[in-house]
Structure 1
Amino acid sequence: MQRICVIGGSRYFGRVLVERLQTAGHRVTVINRGSDGPPAGVDHLVVDRDDEAALLAALGSRTFDVVVDQVCYTPVQAAIAARAFAGRTRRYVMTSTIEVYDPATAVLPSVPAGTPVPEENVDPATWPVAMDLPWHDAAYREAHYAEGKRQAEAVLARAGGFAFAAVRSAHVLGGGVREFTGRLAHYTERIRAGEAITVHERPLPTVFIHHAELADLLLWAATAGDFTGPVNACSDGLLDVRGLAAAVAAEIGRDPVYRVVATGTPASPFSFDRQYAMSNTRAKGLGYAFSRTVDWLPGAVAETLTAATAPTAPTV
């Protein structure tokens, strides 16, 4: 049994992670602002992680074997966490994102189209940090999501006081009613209605991961792995927007309709006109075995279709 703290953990794969940790027999503490409580038997600290004094007061004398940070979006948040958990945990795992590799958001090493991107293309040990940017402004933070994640990784990687690992997640799908982004529902709804999906002239492939597989990988990174640095988390198999639409269409029984737009023009989710699909070679070398996207995608589509037709609870 390990003592594990999850920051966030109230929804989607974060909640699945908490459930997996609890089932595995670990002693789990969840820190969030209280919008959704954790499962019974999980210690719950209701506090705003951005309030350093309140966070320290809530933590008290608690120590942990591992911290899994699901909701770190800026270097300011990372710096607060680094100070709060220094000497309080031996390992810190941050959930990061494929978006750190998006060439539209930073000057990055170029990668040939179709070549999966390795972790070293964004090195948190050398990535510049700018704490004086308006990270507290929600609109700025949302517009600079990828850069916020890169800089958060950089702060935690250099913090010292604990071993640090960043799990860079591919685009997450599945979960039905748990899936809150609506990106897969965009496809199911439009294909079922015979409405056009907007795609680029030459869409490039990307990578995906099922929400339950990501929870399992985070469990592994927290409790079984002793690696440090970034690791990419994606199921096997590249897939472009037309392949995704075809998988959705196969479940619905209706051919997709496309509206083609030029490179540089906004399009439907997962239609990419630039290359940043990830490589999962490092995670495999460390011992993690991934599923194949083509194996779980039909089930994820079916979950989304079921969620769309489920009756809503009556209001009282």
Structure 2
Amino acid sequence: MRPRILISLMAFILALAPLPARANEANEINLRLFGENVIEGWDGCRFGLWQHNRDPDEDRYAYVLFAPIPDGEALPAWVKIGDEIIEVSPVDIGSADTGLIEPFRLYRDLDSKLTVMLEIFEQARTDAGIAISDARLTFLRDDKFPFSIRVKGLNGCPGTASASGAQADNRLSLGASVGFDSLDSVPAPVLRAIATEAPECEPENTAGFSSAYSISDEMTLWEVPCNLYASHGSSVFAVSWTYHPDHATVLLFPGPPGLDIADYAGLLNAGVDPATGTVTSYSLERGGDCGSFDKFQLVDAEGETVEFRLVEFREKTVCDGIETDPADFPLVYDGR
């Protein structure tokens, strides 16, 4: 009798015990990665997110969420759960007001049975659009366990990246700096161009320390002081030509895309690296613990001239009392 009692007791205990892990599979969201089998070869503008350790250009299945942008406005996004492709549309929860994507976004399907929560931790503007370097998607579905996955992505048009590469081939370097201690050494056409094209600059009210950099045998880049302030100063850059000695032009600096900043001439706290042909600038708030940082590349331009292209914009908007090198401020735009 004892063996029978023992067997019956074990059966009773097993009946009360939790089911094996396999039984919980019914409660798990069966998220699937996808590629061409879902996006059908779409190569235009898109909002796409892929698993953080995959590359959609190299891996057959990499995407977690994908929304074509045929006319500047994203269509409902696609996700794949099991064998089912589900359309989810963004739920309006307000704008980021930063020129980037709002850091928190919700998507829902038509029946409100699936909610997808997007959290963006790191993003920056590039020539191809807004690149997302770190984000998380969390899937919520009725009677299922929440499922989270780390992702990267792009909101933009990847085809424009090749144009950026073409621009990179036009990068110019400069000859060594030649310094001057007064405006008397600056060619008159350069000073006239500044007075006409950058009237807000007043070189005559500065000490007049200037620098010249050779671009080629025919072109010279001039850095001329623009205005002096209590703790910093601004410079203006102009180009002169040996074959056109009576002419010069002021070069403008482009503002970051999406921030509604017009091109400008005066550059605060300018620093020139002749070897790379780059010019940096930074601006600090009164406490010195927040502000912005720009980096520009001198490139060839149409009409036998040159221009500056923005390659990096950084900004620290929170003045937290911690002084940081402006070159280490959070990256907002990357045009390299």
Instruction: Please report the TM-score for the alignment, with normalisation by the length of structure 1.
Output: 0.24
Q: State which structure, 1 or 2, has the greater radius of gyration over its C-alpha atoms.
A: 2
Instruction: Please report the TM-score for the alignment, with normalisation by the length of structure 2.
Output: 0.23
Structure with more of its chain in strand, by fraction: 2
Structure with more of its chain in helix, by fraction: 1
